[in-house]
Amino acid sequence: MMKLGLATAGAVVILDQASKTAVLAHFAGSPDADTVTPFFNLVLTFNRGMSFGLFNTGSRSAVNAWLFPLAAAIIVIGLVLWLRRVTSPLLGLAIGLVVGGALGNVIDRIRYGAVVDFLDFHIANYHWPAFNLADSAICLGVVAMLLESLLIRREAH
């Protein structure tokens, strides 16, 4: 499953970085938001904190720029070590999604000092925090891990 996981991680990193490059080019010299549908906007935000903008403060942004990538790198190493022992294709795919998403966001922190977020879903004036493809991959990977752990393994017993 190592090949599946690493190929998935590589695809996520490529798609994530390509989408962020396209968004940065799209917003170069223009306003930082475009309405796409009544419930979705394309926005440009830089998250210096962690998930959902937690710890997104200017006073700690220099620390965050190095602390969060270091934590993500440690997690990625642990996940790759786990991936070496995995026999389930679903779990291999799930770990690859999480690793790819984490690496995509680490690349942003190293390049920009923050994560580029651009997907803004909302209902009226209630907005979910902006996110990106890496964040989506991490969430899907975690859901797949839970499904594999709770449902598939239980069926095997």
Q: Which residues are catalytic?
A: 117, 135
Rg value, the chain, Cα: 17
Q: Encoding tokens for residue 75? A: 């997690």
Q: Encoding tokens for residue 116? A: 């580029």
Core vs surface per residue 5-28: b (16+ CB within 10 A) or e = bbebbeebbeebbebbeebeeebe
Q: Cα(81)–Cα(69) distance, rounded to whole angstroms? A: 18
Return the number of other C-beta atoms located less than 10 Å from residue 148's C-beta.
19
